[in-house]
Amino acid sequence: MKYQYSFMLSLAVLTATLVSAPTRAVVFSDTESLLPPTQEWSGKSEQLMVAADDPWVTPAERTGLRATPAYDETVSWLQKLVAAAPELQMVSIGKSLQGRDLWMVIASADQAFNAAAMRATGKPLLIAHAGIHSGEIDGKDAGLMLLRDMTVAGRNKELLANANFLFIPILNVDGHERISPYNRINQRGPEEMGWRTNARNQNLNRDFTKLDTPAVRALIRVFGLWKPDLYLDLHVTDGADYQYDITFGGNGRRGWSPAIGNWIEDVYRPAINTALNDNGHVPGGLIFAANGKDMKDGFLSWSGDPRFSNGYGDATHLPTILVENHSLKPYKRRVLGTYVLLAETLSFLGKEYESLRLAALDDQQRRPKMIPLNFKRNEDQVPESVPFKGIRSERYQGEASGAEVVRWMGELVNTSIPRIFYDEPGVMAEIPAAYVIPVVWSDIVDRIAMHGIQVEQLTEPLTTVAEVYRIPDAKIAEPSAWVPNPFEGHIRIDPGKPVKQVLRTTFPAGSFKISTDQPLGELLVLMLEPQAPDSFLQWGFFLEIFTRTEYAEAYVLEPLAQKMLQKDPDLKARFEQKLASDEDFAASQYRRLMWFYEQTPFYDQEYLLYPVARIPTGT
Ligand SMILES: [Zn+2]
Tell me: pLDDT of 10 over 70: no
**What global pTM score does this model have?**
0.93
pLDDT at 29: 72
How far apart are alpha carbons 338 and 137 in whole angstroms? 11
Give the contacts of 223 (CB within 8 A, at least 6 positions apart).
127, 231, 316, 318, 452
Task: Report which DSSP code applies to 543.
Answer: G
Q: Is residue 513 within 8 Å of 434, Cβ to Cβ?
A: yes
Measured in Å, residue 246 CA sits from the centre of ligand 1 at 13
Measured in Å, residue 370 CA sits from the centre of ligand 1 at 31
Mean pLDDT across 223-227: 98
Position 469, amino acid: Y
Measured in Å, residue 335 CA sits from the centre of ligand 1 at 15
Name the pLDDT band for 24 (thresholds 50, 70, 90).
Answer: low
By CB atoms closer than 10 A (0-12, 13-18, 19+), residue 464 is: middle
Lowest mean pLDDT, pick from 1-5, 119-123, 287-291, 608-612: 1-5
How far apart are alpha carbons 565 and 572 in whole angstroms? 5
Measured in Å, residue 544 CA sits from the centre of ligand 1 at 33
Measured in Å, residue 205 CA sits from the centre of ligand 1 at 8
Q: Which residues of 494-522 are buried (b: 16+ CB within 10 A; e: fewer)?
A: ebeebeeeeeeeebeeebbbbbbeebbbb
pLDDT at 540: 98
Measured in Å, residue 309 CA sits from the centre of ligand 1 at 10
Measured in Å, residue 237 CA sits from the centre of ligand 1 at 6
pLDDT at 23: 52
Task: Report which DSSP code applies to 51.
Answer: P
Measured in Å, residue 477 CA sits from the centre of ligand 1 at 25
Measured in Å, residue 321 CA sits from the centre of ligand 1 at 13
Measured in Å, residue 501 CA sits from the centre of ligand 1 at 42
Residues 270-329 pLDDT 10s: 999 999 999 999 999 999 999 999 999 999 988 999 999 999 999 999 999 999 999 999
Tell me: pLDDT of 503 over 70: yes
Measured in Å, residue 173 CA sits from the centre of ligand 1 at 14
Measured in Å, residue 493 CA sits from the centre of ligand 1 at 25
How far apart are alpha carbons 283 and 277 in whole angstroms? 7
